[in-house]
Amino acid sequence: MSRSLEGFFRHIAACNTAVLPGGRLEFRLGATPAGWVQPALLPVLLEHGMTHAGNTVTLADPARLEPIGEAMAQAGVYRSHHELFDVWTDMAQPPVARIDRGALPLFGLMAAGVHLNGLVRLPHGLHLWIARRAMTKRLDPGKLDHLVAGGIPAGHTAAEALFKEAAEEASLPAELVRRARPTADIRYALDRPEGLRRDVLHCFELELPPDFTPTPADGEVEEFRLIPIEEAYALVRDTDAFKFNVNLVLIDLFLRTGLIDAASPEGQRLRQGLANGFEPGGVGQGDRVARMGHAVFEQHGQQG
């Protein structure tokens, strides 16, 4: 491996630290595997009517997951986000339940989000809009971020979430957001203090006019800056200035713009890591993940 790319590989490895099952119990909704739970959580789950057999915990009725999650938050098992997310057993199929966003890592459930690179072509090269996360953010306060990024709330498509976040975070008008194009789906399985994150990032790209300046609207962003893409490249390669998963989306951007040679063996391995993760050991991460954001986004853009 070229030493100049080691910094990129470390970000992908850092986002794929989870070994599955890694001592966890398989969590099933009905008869279908849905996630993973720590054995220490078992007494709480049994109190809520789940069953335990061997290495499996089962909730027979997936519709009960939402009120169970609410009761667990009220009991102090986790800190609620007061925002419901869809729960999938297979992202190629409709969701089977809902639960508070804060409980997703507790159950090792799949979660989906949207990330938007905002690009500007200037006479002296390609530039990238970046945000600085507010110090009041629960996760990675003060870190650098994309122009727009956020989780997909229950009942929303990736496109609807993108339009929502673009307006709330950066005051982007809908007529500009409609020009965004899907670029990649990135996934990883990561151990975090809040639990097991199994995330799918639906990535988009938008070229903005040079005279447009994004404006923070909901208090989640402290400031926006326009920087040369080469500066972003160096920040990702050499530092941890960006929020942990933003690095992955930017690596994809560098591969597509030629800053990293996508045809080289290292570039191909980076691409594979973004799509499938680097498995640190154990069973691996064989989740079926649909490219669900792309066609839905195009449909929404045509209708909107």
Phi, psi of 99 (to 5 degrees): -160, 160
Query: Smallest Cα–Cα separation from 36: which of 221, 212, 220, 190?
Result: 190
Q: 295: which residues sit within 8 A by CB, 6+ positions away?
A: none
Question: Tens digit of pLDDT for each residue in 152-191?
Answer: 999 999 999 999 999 999 999 999 999 999 999 999 999 9
- The pLDDT mean for the chain works out to 90
- CA 129, CA 147: separation in Å to the nearest integer? 6
Predicted local distance difference test score (pLDDT) of residue 138 = 79
Give yes or no for a contact between 51 and 66, defined as CB atoms under 8 angstroms apart: no
- The DSSP code for 171 is -
Q: What is the pLDDT of residue 290?
A: 34
Beta bridge partners of 202: 114, 185
pLDDT in tens, 19-69: 999 999 999 999 999 999 999 999 999 999 999 999 999 999 999 999 999
Please compute Rg for the chain using Cα positions: 20
CA–CA gap between residue 265 and residue 229 (Å, rounded): 23
Please tell me what DSSP assigns to residue 59. Answer: E
Region of residue 73 (phi > 0: left; psi between -120 and 50: alpha; otherwise: beta): alpha
Write out the two tokens for 261.
Answer: 């040679």
Q: What pairing do the DSSP bridges indicate for beta strands 110-122 and 195-207?
A: parallel
**What pLDDT digit, counting tens, does each position of 58-83 carry?**
999 999 999 999 999 999 999 999 99
Each residue's pLDDT tens digit, 118-154: 999 999 999 999 999 988 887 778 899 999 999 999 9
Say what the pTM is.
0.89
DSSP run (H or E) holding 297:
helix 292-303
CA separation for the pair 119, 257 (Å, rounded): 11
Nearest CA among 221, 146, 208 for reference residue 181: 208
Contact 98, 29 (CB under 8 A): no
Looking at residue 278, its pLDDT comes to 61
- Residue 274, both tokens: 């973004």
